[in-house]
Amino acid sequence: MLPLLVRSAKFLIGGAFIFVLLIALYGTLTAEAPTNTAEHEFHKEHKELALASDGPLGKFDLAQLQRGYQVYTEVCAACHSISMVSFREMKELGYNDAQVKKLASDFDKNHAKQPTYDPKTGDRGERGNTLADRFPHIPYSANGTPPDLSLIAKSRHGGGAYIYSLLTGYANQAGYKNEKGQELLKEFPSAKTPTGLFFNPYFANLNIAMPPPLTSDGQVTYLDGTRATVPQMAEDVSAFLVWAAEPTAQSRKQTGLAVVLFLLATSLLAFGAYRSVWAGVKH
């Protein structure tokens, strides 16, 4: 009896798991379909956005990054920090030393300085930003929690395209319809945007605390004379934030091209070596 039990242990264990799975399967099949939510039916995938830095050989468009920084500092920096980016890295946008120093001191005046603490007196104070500093944290006390934007392009599905879609995607909720022609407030009357929030179908739960930041053409006066339409400003700041999320991305791709070509050549040589070593050995 016992040897038989040992020998059939595999069937018993396997049978037990399968039996429980079949019970679970029956439960799933007979369960009521989950009710759809407003997010599920009305959340929109990000729009398409082509940036110069896309693709394995893409390079940053420095003029666009400078415009994007201008949008960031004149609009976004009212609430959002980029506290992982250093002022010295701004030189990679094509600014010279004097220009970056100017950017840092402008940031003092318009946004925030570096906090200091004197351990002898216990005094807390501030000093101006230098090239060696990261961008300072920007204090914010109103409704919502503006996320730090240093990594925003990496931390959202769609990256730059998502940022662009969000910035240009605010809509009037009354009468809003999705692609299927369903009207949001008719299908989900309870999904009405609460006071203090703003309707944006590109945001995960449709209601975002950030008021539309880019509202009118010419909100920023570009130094290079580009016409500052809302889509233009949204695209430029998206490009800037893609850069900010990984300033080394361009040198990464360029190094990669050399590395992969070198290794392809190595593979060819290694294949030749393999063939010559095995020549005459049938296998």
Q: Which residues bind another protein (CB under 8 A)?
A: 10-11, 13-15, 17-18, 20-29, 31, 33-34, 56, 84-86, 89, 134, 147, 150-151, 154-157, 204, 245-248, 252-253, 255-257, 259-260, 263-264, 266-267, 269-271, 273-274, 277-278, 281-283
| Closest CB 20 distance from another protein, rounded Å | 5
| Closest CB 222 distance from another protein, rounded Å | 28
| Closest CB 10 distance from another protein, rounded Å | 5
- Report which of 94, 129, 95 is spatially closest to residue 113, judged by C-alpha positions: 129
Identify which of residues 174 and 261 has a Cβ nearer to another protein in the complex. Answer: 261
283: CB partners within 8 A, 6+ apart:
none
| Closest CB 28 distance from another protein, rounded Å | 5
* Interstrand relation of 114-117 and 124-127 (parallel, antiparallel or unpaired): antiparallel
Structural contact between residues 152 and 246, judged by C-beta atoms closer than 8 angstroms: no
CA distance 7 to 186: 63
Owner of token pair 């990256």: 159
| Closest CB 59 distance from another protein, rounded Å | 14
| Closest CB 269 distance from another protein, rounded Å | 8
Identify which of residues 7 and 186 has a Cβ nearer to another protein in the complex. Answer: 7
Identify which of residues 24 and 78 has a Cβ nearer to another protein in the complex. Answer: 24
Identify which of residues 140 and 271 has a Cβ nearer to another protein in the complex. Answer: 271
- Report which of 219, 211, 254 is spatially closest to residue 236, judged by C-alpha positions: 219
CA distance 269 to 99: 50
CA distance 209 to 98: 37
Identify which of residues 223 and 270 has a Cβ nearer to another protein in the complex. Answer: 270
- Phi and psi of 240, rounded to 5°? -65, -40
Identify which of residues 233 and 245 has a Cβ nearer to another protein in the complex. Answer: 245
- Report which of 244, 63, 80 is spatially closest to residue 159, judged by C-alpha positions: 244
